[in-house]
Amino acid sequence: MSQVVVYSSGNIQVVIGDITEEETDAIVNAANSTLLGGGGVDGAIHRKAGSELKEEGRTLGGCLTGDAKITGGYRLKAKYVIHTVGPIWRGENAGEEELLASCYRKSLQLAKDHGIQSISFPAISTGAYGFPKKPAAEIAVREVKMFLKENDLQVRLVCFDKETAQYYLNILNK
Ligand code: ADP
């Protein structure tokens, strides 16, 4: 699967493709709290990175929802993987919006702390964790834009499906 750029302006790009193919300095993993691998994008990242990723994951003591931790990228093209644990959607007003925003903020801050110049995000929490795609896209774009006001970093929002890409495009083209 090749990466198709459907939006590019300033430091933000929207890409349709497989995040494990990204060549940015870091890719973000929508991990679960064990940091030992799972389904969806997490499984794909672990498969491509190789078993060393799980071994490093074991040393990290897990990760809380809304937080992020960094590892090497091993056999991935990306040098780093930033693992963040998104909230499971339980219905509105359970605090998931703030937790999802925190995933983006903490991941971006970790990237900055490690001198990372380019980063690719999947649509955190919008798969198995069931966060509705449109508000998730709004939170992602809001947090990325806020961060880019003060920091210089290339951010790629990688979508596995066209519906997610369309939400990003609608928001970014507003
Ligand atoms: P979560 O448990 O956080 O919901 P999922 O992996 O189930 O994580 O899904 C998060 C998002 O990642 C979904 O939009 C899903 O379509 C997408 N996704 C799954 N595999 C990949 C991949 N290889 N590259 C990019 N995005 C992916």
Q: Are 108 and 152 in contact (CB under 8 A)?
A: no
Question: Given pLDDT bands bounded at 50, 70 and 90, which one contains residue 109?
Answer: very high
User: What is the rounded average pLDDT of the residues 111-138?
Assistant: 98
**105 has a pLDDT exceeding 80:** yes
CATH 3.40.1390.10 fits 4-172, yes or no: no
**93 has a pLDDT exceeding 90:** no
- 118 forms beta bridges with 154
What are the residue ranges spanned by the domains of the chain? 4-172
- Which of 1-10, 23-32, 98-107 shows the lowest per-residue confidence on average (mean pLDDT)? 1-10
**Mean pLDDT (the chain, rounded):** 97
Question: Given pLDDT bands bounded at 50, 70 and 90, which one contains residue 92?
Answer: confident
User: What is the rounded average pLDDT of the residues 71-84?
Assistant: 98
Atom of ligand 1 nearest to the CA of 45: 23
| Probe residue for ligand 1, chosen from 13, 33, 41 as the CB with the greatest number of ligand atoms within 8 Å | 41
Atom of ligand 1 nearest to the CA of 18: 24
pLDDT digits (tens, 9 = 90+) for 35-68: 999 999 999 999 999 999 999 999 999 999 999 9
pLDDT of residue 2: 86
* CA 43 to ligand 1 centroid distance, Å: 9
Q: What percent of the chain has pLDDT over 90?
A: 96
pLDDT digits (tens, 9 = 90+) for 137-147: 999 999 999 99
**1 has a pLDDT exceeding 80:** no
